[in-house]
Amino acid sequence: MADVQEEPEEPETEAERRRRRAQFLRDLAEARELRARVQPRRAKTARLRRAMRMRTFRW
């Protein structure tokens, strides 16, 4: 498997990890928005389900 990334010798810094995580979350949000535009009915259902879960969640 030639396309597997090699592990770096030194562990990544906290800032690098946070930067990668922020980029991942931005990409994830973008993908969700795209899916919501492509499948509006399914997105609406998911939004309603999520709202119901939040209303019934007990602190």
Query: How many whole angstroms separate alpha carbon 52 and alpha carbon 46?
Result: 10
**pLDDT for 14 beyond 80:** yes
Tokens 């259902």 -> residue: 45
Residue 28 has pLDDT above 70, yes or no: yes
Mean pLDDT of the 10-22 span: 90
Give pTM, 2 decimals: 0.53
Among 32, 34, 26, smallest CA distance to 46 is for 32
Q: How confident is the model at residue 13 (pLDDT cuts 50, 70, 90)?
A: very high
By CB neighbour count within 10 A (0-12 exposed, 13-18 middle, 19+ buried), where does 36 fall?
A: middle
CA angle at residue 50 from 49 to 56, to 5 degrees? Answer: 90
Query: Would you say residue 44 has pLDDT above 80?
Result: yes
Give percent of the chain with pLDDT exceeding 90: 41
